[in-house]
Amino acid sequence: MSADASRVFAPLHSAAEFIAFLEVQRADFRSTLPGRFARMQALWSDITGGRGSADALDQLERQAHGLAGTGATFGFRDLGESAKALELKLCDYAAPSGATTLADIAAALESVRKTLPGEFA
């Protein structure tokens, strides 16, 4: 194991080290948000524009699912909740008896955008 790797995997010995570690992880996650949301928007545009592949809806659902979990984990509770709502709308839309419309999904995606941190919304 390299010296750099040992620092990454070294045990944390204090609450301060753990908090610092979490802050680095949170900052890394935050930096991924523009790209994650851009991917979601691109998938949605493909779906609504008739250019989406057969699994574009599934890909959008997976993106929403991932954002729901990681958003909550890294302290972006509202973002996590709005992404979870989008995920549920997408699952309902895909179900044979689902009542969700494309307009419902568009509104849920807009809610996700509104809960992105200020500089990204």
Ordered alpha helix ranges (H), 2-101:
3-9, 15-48, 56-73, 77-94
120, part of any domain? no
> Which CATH number covers residue 81?
1.20.120
End-to-end Cα separation, the chain, in angstroms = 40
Q: How confident is the model at residue 2 (pLDDT cuts 50, 70, 90)?
A: very low
13 against 58, higher pLDDT? 58
In a domain, 6, yes or no: no
For residue range 61-89, what is the model confidence (pLDDT) as tens digits? 999 999 999 998 999 999 999 999 999 99
**What is the mean pLDDT of the segment spanning 26-48?**
94
CB atoms under 10 Å from CB of 106, counted, come to 13
7 assigned to some structural domain: no
Q: Is residue 8 part of a domain?
A: no
Looking at the domain assignment, is residue 49 inside a domain?
yes
Domain assignment of residue 4, yes or no: no
Show the tokens assigned to 41: 């928007």
What is the model's pLDDT at position 88? Answer: 97
Model pTM?
Answer: 0.83
How many angstroms separate the CA atoms of 85 and 74, rounded?
Answer: 18
What is the domain range of residue 108? 14-114
Residue 74 CB neighbour total at 10 angstroms: 18
Q: How many domains does the chain have?
A: 1
Residue 121, pLDDT score: 58
